[in-house]
Chains A and B, each alone.
Chain A
Amino acid sequence: MNISLTIPKTLDVTAIRKEFPILNREIKGRPLIYLDNAATTQKPQQVIDAIVHYYTNYNANIHRGIHTLAEEATADFEQTRDVVKTFIGAGSREEIIFTKGTTESINLVAYTWGRKNIRAGDEIIISNMEHHSNIVPWQILCEEKEAILKVIPINDAGELILDEYEKMLGSKTKLVSIVHVSNALGTVNPVKQMITRAHEAGAVVMVDGAQSAVHLDIDVSDMDCDFFAFSAHKLYGPTGVGVLYGKKELLESMPPFQGGGEMIKEVTFNKTTFNDLPYKFEAGTPNIADVIAFKTAIRFIESIGKEKIREHEKELLEYAHQELEKIPGLHIIGKARDKISVVSFIIEKAHPQDIGILLDNRGIAVRTGHHCAQPLMDRFSIPGTARASFAVYNTKDELDELVNGLKRAVKILA
C-alpha cells in the first residue's frame, strides 16, 4: 500500500500582500514595513471595497425602515452578527453585541453587570499584564462600590503566576477579567483552565480577546467564558467596531448600558420598556458600514485559515527572536513558553523612542512606549519597550530589514 503524505500548502505571502493596497506605500523613500499589527492591522482591498459598496449602493438606517435600501442594509448588517457568532462559537446570535471596540465592550460590562452585581467588599481579579482598558473600568467600579481589585502577579518570563491566582480566588471573588493574549508581551494565558477555577469559586469571567481573536481559534462555548470582547480593526477589519459576547442569561439579567433609539420597545413619559437582546445594548444608529465590512474581514481570515496564518506568524516570531537576540545589548521582554506574534524589546543605552524614530526613517513601523500597560512596564522596571508585532502579510525579509535598522540605530545612538 502506498502511503501518501499530504503536504500542507504554505502561505502564498506574495499573493496575500497584493490584497493590501497600503503595502505599496513608500515611507521616506523606502517601502513600508508595517510591524505594528497589534495596534491595528492593515485592511485588504475587499474590506475597503465592502465599505464603498455599502455607501454606493444601499446606505440606509437599519431595522425600522420598510424601504428596499433599509431592508438590504439591515440584512447585510445582521448577517455579520451570524458570521461573528460562528467565528467565535457562540450559542446564539442574541449573544453578539456590536460595540465600538474592545474598550467599550469591557466598559459595557463594568457599567451594567458590574454596577448591578458588585457590592462593598467584593473582589475583582485582573492581572499584572492587562491593557489599561481592562484595568481602569474596574478601578472606577471598585471605587464606586468600595470593592477590592486584586492583581495576579507575573514571573520574569511574563507568565501569570497561577498559584497566586488560585490563592486569590474565594467566596468574595465576583469577577475575573483577564487578557487572553498580552498586547505588550505576546503571552498566551491559559484562560480555559482559569475560567474553570473561577467558576468553581462562583465568579463570572470576562476575557479580553483584543489580541487573541485574530490569531487563536476562539470557541467561547468551549472556553466557557461569560463575556468575551474584541475589536474588528485588529482582525483586518474596519475601525470603530467591536464585539461583546455574553452568555444569554447574563445579558438578559443586565440593565441597559445607554438609552436611546433602537434599544427600546416602548417609550412613554411614565415608563420605557427595553428591547430584546441584542438590541437592548445597541442604542442609537450603529456603525453600519463598518459592521457590514467586518464580515468581509472575517471571511478573508477564514479563506486563508487561521491555522496557516498561525504557522506563518510562528515562523516569523521564532525568526525574530533568533535574529534580534544577536544584537548586542538587546533584551527581549516577555519570553513566555506560550507566546504569539509580538516581540517586545529594549536595547541598552537606547531609548525606545529613539529606536522608533530611526526605524521610521527606514520605513519601518513599530510601536514604542508603554503600550497602554504601565503597570506591566513597572513590573519590569522599564519606561517602555519597542514592539514589533506580526500579521499574515509580513515576511522574513522585512524582519531582516528590522534587524538592519536596529543595528544601525544602535551604532548611531552609541
Chain B
Amino acid sequence: MNPDLSIAETEKEIIEEFALFDSWDDKYEYIIDLGKTLPVLDAKYKTDENRVRGCQSSVWLVAEYKDGKLFYQADSDAMIVKGLISMLIRVLSGRSTDEIIEARLDFIREIGMTTHLAQTRSNGLLSMVKQMKHYALAFKIKDPVPSKN
C-alpha cells in the first residue's frame, strides 16, 4: 500500500487505472498481471488453517498485527483470484483495524468485478473480503485501544 493514501484514495486510484481499459479481456489481462506481481507466499503458510473456504480455487490468507496495524499476505493457485487479492491487499494491508472494518470497498463494483462477489462464482473474493475483515475484528477485540508497542 501507499501510506500517503487513505483507503478511499487507493480505491479511487484503482478505479482510474481500470478506466483506461475498454474491453473485458484487457481488464482481466491487467488483473492477471497484478496477480503475477503478488509476492510469493512461503509454503509454510499454505496450511489448511490459512485456507479461505468457499473458493473453487485454493486461497491462503495470513494476517500479521504490528504497531496497531494489520498486514496481509495471500496466495492462490488461480491467477485471476490472485490479481483480485493483490488489489485487496493494496487497499487494506497496513491499515488500522477500524479502517479495515469500515472499508466499503466500492472499487470492486466500480471496476465491474461485482460478479466475483456473487456466491455462484464461489471463487472466493467474497470469502476473502470476509476473512480479511474477520481478522481485523479479531485483532480489534484483542487490542481494543491500539497501542504502539
Chain A interface (Cβ < 8 Å from any Cβ of B): 28, 350-351, 353-354, 357-358, 361-362, 368-369, 383-384, 408, 412-413
Q: Is the CB of A351 within 8 A of B32?
A: no
Q: Of the 9-residue stretches B72-80, B102-110, B133-141, which lies at the interface with chain A?
A: B72-80
10 residue pairs bridging A and B, Cβ less than 8 Å apart: A351-B78, A351-B79, A353-B57, A353-B81, A358-B25, A361-B25, A383-B77, A384-B56, A412-B25, A412-B32
Distance in Å: Cβ of B36 to nearest Cβ of chain A: 9
CA distance A353 to B123 in the complex (A): 8
Q: Is the CB of B79 within 8 A of A413?
A: yes
Distance in Å: Cβ of B79 to nearest Cβ of chain A: 5
CA distance A358 to B23 in the complex (A): 12
Distance in Å: Cβ of A355 to nearest Cβ of chain B: 10
Residues of A within 8 A of B58 (CB): 383
Known: A354-B79, A383-B77. 15 other contacts (CB 8 A): A351-B78, A351-B79, A353-B80, A353-B81, A357-B28, A357-B123, A361-B24, A361-B25, A361-B28, A362-B25, A368-B56, A369-B56, A384-B56, A412-B25, A412-B29
Chain B interface (Cβ < 8 Å from any Cβ of A): 24-25, 28-29, 32, 56-58, 77-81, 123
CA distance A384 to B122 in the complex (A): 14
CA distance A28 to B77 in the complex (A): 26
Distance in Å: Cβ of A197 to nearest Cβ of chain B: 38
CA distance A351 to B29 in the complex (A): 15
CA distance A113 to B121 in the complex (A): 37
CA distance A408 to B57 in the complex (A): 21
Distance in Å: Cβ of A223 to nearest Cβ of chain B: 36
Distance in Å: Cβ of A55 to nearest Cβ of chain B: 28
Distance in Å: Cβ of B78 to nearest Cβ of chain A: 4
Nearest CB in chain A to that of B29: its residue: A412
Residues of A within 8 A of B57 (CB): 351, 353, 383
CA distance A408 to B32 in the complex (A): 13
Residues of B within 8 A of A361 (CB): 24-25, 28
**Interchain CB contact (< 8 A) of A353 among B25, B29, B32, B56:** B56
Q: Is the CB of A354 within 8 A of B25?
A: no
Q: Is the CB of A357 within 8 A of B56?
A: no
CA distance A408 to B23 in the complex (A): 14
Nearest CB in chain A to that of B124: its residue: A353
Residues of A within 8 A of B28 (CB): 357-358, 361, 412
Q: Is the CB of B25 within 8 A of A408?
A: yes
Q: Is the CB of B24 within 8 A of A351?
A: no
CA distance A97 to B79 in the complex (A): 46
CA distance A384 to B81 in the complex (A): 16
Residues of A within 8 A of B81 (CB): 353
Nearest CB in chain A to that of B81: its residue: A353
Q: Is the CB of A351 within 8 A of B25?
A: no
Contact A413 B24, CB 8 Å, known A351-B79, A357-B80: no
Nearest CB in chain A to that of B112: its residue: A28
CA distance A413 to B78 in the complex (A): 10
Residues of B within 8 A of A369 (CB): 56
Nearest CB in chain A to that of B33: its residue: A412
Residues of A within 8 A of B123 (CB): 353, 357
Residues of B within 8 A of A362 (CB): 25
Residues of A within 8 A of B56 (CB): 353, 368-369, 384
Question: A28, A351, A358, A361 — which one has the most chain B CB atoms within 10 A of its CB?
Answer: A351
Nearest CB in chain B to that of A413: its residue: B79
CA distance A369 to B78 in the complex (A): 12
CA distance A213 to B128 in the complex (A): 40
**Interchain CB contact (< 8 A) of B78 among A28, A354, A408, A412:** A354
Residues of A within 8 A of B77 (CB): 351, 383
Nearest CB in chain B to that of A384: its residue: B56
Q: Is the CB of A353 within 8 A of B24?
A: no
Distance in Å: Cβ of A414 to nearest Cβ of chain B: 10
Nearest CB in chain B to that of A349: its residue: B79
Nearest CB in chain B to that of A408: its residue: B25
CA distance A350 to B25 in the complex (A): 16
**Interchain CB contact (< 8 A) of B32 among A28, A383, A413:** A413
Question: A357, A361, A383, A408 — which one has the most chain B CB atoms within 10 A of its CB?
Answer: A357
CA distance A369 to B123 in the complex (A): 11
CA distance A272 to B142 in the complex (A): 61
Residues of A within 8 A of B25 (CB): 358, 361-362, 408, 412
CA distance A383 to B123 in the complex (A): 14
Contact A354 B80, CB 8 Å, known A384-B56, A412-B32: yes
CA distance A369 to B57 in the complex (A): 9
Distance in Å: Cβ of B29 to nearest Cβ of chain A: 5
Distance in Å: Cβ of B87 to nearest Cβ of chain A: 15
Residues of B within 8 A of A353 (CB): 56-57, 78, 80-81, 123
CA distance A357 to B123 in the complex (A): 10
CA distance A358 to B24 in the complex (A): 9
CA distance A111 to B25 in the complex (A): 49
CA distance A350 to B78 in the complex (A): 7
Residues of B within 8 A of A368 (CB): 56
Distance in Å: Cβ of A412 to nearest Cβ of chain B: 5
The list of the 9 closest CB pairs from A to B, nearest first, reads: A351-B78, A361-B24, A353-B78, A353-B57, A354-B79, A353-B56, A354-B80, A28-B24, A412-B29
